[in-house]
């Protein structure tokens, strides 16, 4: 399989692999500390850690608990969310709801982190060429009323759960000699089925979200999608119908990093100065389950959650 073939089928030129000594919690902790440093917030001031991952350190305890320990966020409640590649958007939605119910001045760390290199079958070229390892994080807090999250949307089509899976290792099919021999602990994906799911569900979910938020398609200036496959995203982009928006892609350098792909791409675009204050940014995830999630936000460098009078936001 040549580089030319991989690029032509996926748009991916490079992928990153975690060091053999690192687990998902290690990558997540580094991303969390970077977000805290950028926001100038102390770890002990974080009230919640919501970690999106489908490659946890262990079946239990929650990887977020380990991250809490690693970064010294001693006052934070910490838990994991597994919505596969929609995980970061799901986690952002949950964290934002928690902050809405909390007292003013609280913070929530939202992290997307995955090490897919540990669960790939490298004899399966349809999946092995897609995935990289990575982590990204944002810190949610208080923001001006004109900034922050405007609306969110979550969708699950459980009738299609078989399209993406790691069959063995859970309560239905515990790992044993037979499952190891059969490779049932590796990541499995029906590529054609996933492509059809995205084409059938992603545009409609985004249109419904924008309609509910009262936002015209032309108001959206930036689209940050899950970095699944560049060719597939190019095919579905016309159906999404955002005539003035830029679709931001980081997959050429990083591949598909699972639940990390949206925050990694968001961070890269932010660092490159792509976003201007007040611009409308739409983030979208889609993945196993099968799931779709989206977050609509009004951008500011230190704002990222739904505004409410002296209420929520995000920093970092």
End-to-end alpha carbon distance in the chain: 40
- Structure tokens belonging to residue 237: 């982009």
Percent residues over pLDDT 70 in the chain: 95
pTM recorded for the entire structure: 0.92
Which of 224, 266, 262, 219 has the alpha carbon at shortest distance from 242?
Answer: 219
82 is catalytic: no
Query: In 3-state terms, what secondary structure has residue 57?
Result: coil
Q: Answer with the residue of higher pLDDT: 283 or 145.
A: 283
85 is catalytic: yes
Residue 88 has pLDDT above 60, yes or no: yes
If you average pLDDT over residues 35-60, what whole number do you get?
A: 96
pLDDT value for 142:
77
If you average pLDDT over residues 20-48, what whole number do you get?
A: 96
CATH homologous superfamily of domain 1-316? Thiolase/Chalcone synthase (3.40.47.10)
The single residue of 85, 147, 222, 248 carrying the catalytic annotation is: 85
Which of 305, 169, 8 has the alpha carbon at shortest distance from 316?
Answer: 305
Residue 113's alpha-carbon distances to 50, 54, 58, 110, in angstroms, are 11, 8, 14, 10
d(CA 160, CA 22): 33
If you average pLDDT over residues 63-91, what whole number do you get?
A: 98
Name the band, by pLDDT with cuts 50, 70 and 90, for residue 302. low
Provide the CB-side half-sphere exposure for 84 (13 A, CA).
23
pLDDT value for 301:
62
Beta strands (DSSP E) in the chain are 46-52, 77-81, 107-115, 133-142, 148-156, 164-165, 188-189, 220-225, 246-247, 280-287, 291-298, 312-315
pLDDT in tens, 98-114: 998 877 778 999 999 99
Residue 305 has pLDDT above 90, yes or no: no
pLDDT in tens, 153-212: 999 999 999 999 999 999 999 989 999 999 999 999 999 999 999 999 999 999 999 999
Contacts of 84 (CB under 8 A, 6+ apart): 54, 164, 258, 259, 287, 288, 289, 291
The single residue of 147, 248, 256, 270 carrying the catalytic annotation is: 256
- Average pLDDT for the chain: 91
Which DSSP letter does residue 300 get?
B
Name the band, by pLDDT with cuts 50, 70 and 90, for residue 75. very high
The single residue of 147, 222, 226, 229 carrying the catalytic annotation is: 226
Per-domain boundaries in the chain: 1-316
pLDDT value for 1:
65
147 is catalytic: no
């Amino acid at each position: 399989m040549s580089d030319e073939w991989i690029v032509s089928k996926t748009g991916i030129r490079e992928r990153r692999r975690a060091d053999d000594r690192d687990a998902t919690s290690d990558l997540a902790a580094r991303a969390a500390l970077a977000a805290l440093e950028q926001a100038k917030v102390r770890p002990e001031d974080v009230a919640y850690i919501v970690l999106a991952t489908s490659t946890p350190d262990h079946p239990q305890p929650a990887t977020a608990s380990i991250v809490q320990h690693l970064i010294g966020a001693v006052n934070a409640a910490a838990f994991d969310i597994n919505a596969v590649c929609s995980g970061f958007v799901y986690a952002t939605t949950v964290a934002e709801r928690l902050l809405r119910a909390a007292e003013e001045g609280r913070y929530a760390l939202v992290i997307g982190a995955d090490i897919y290199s540990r669960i790939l079958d490298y004899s399966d070229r349809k999946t092995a060429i897609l995935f990289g390892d990575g982590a990204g994080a944002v810190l949610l807090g208080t923001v001006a009323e004109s900034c922050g999250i405007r609306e969110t949307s979550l969708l699950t089509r459980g009738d299609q759960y078989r399209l993406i899976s790691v069959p063995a290792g859970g309560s239905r099919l515990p790992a044993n000699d037979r499952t190891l021999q059969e490779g049932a602990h590796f990541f499995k994906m029906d590529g054609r089925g996933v492509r059809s799911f995205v084409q059938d569900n992603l545009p409609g979910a985004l249109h419904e979200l924008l309609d509910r938020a009262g936002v015209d398609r032309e108001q959206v200036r930036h689209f940050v999608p899950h970095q699944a496959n560049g060719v597939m995203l190019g095919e579905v982009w016309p159906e999404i119908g955002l005539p003035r928006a830029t679709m931001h892609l980081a997959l050429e350098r990083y591949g598909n990093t699972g639940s990390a792909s949206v925050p990694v791409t968001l961070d890269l675009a932010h660092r490159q100065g792509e976003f201007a204050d007040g611009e409308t940014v739409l983030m979208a995830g889609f993945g196993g389950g099968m799931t779709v999630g989206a977050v609509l936000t009004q951008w500011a460098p230190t704002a990222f959650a739904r505004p409410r009078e002296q209420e929520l936001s995000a920093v970092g």
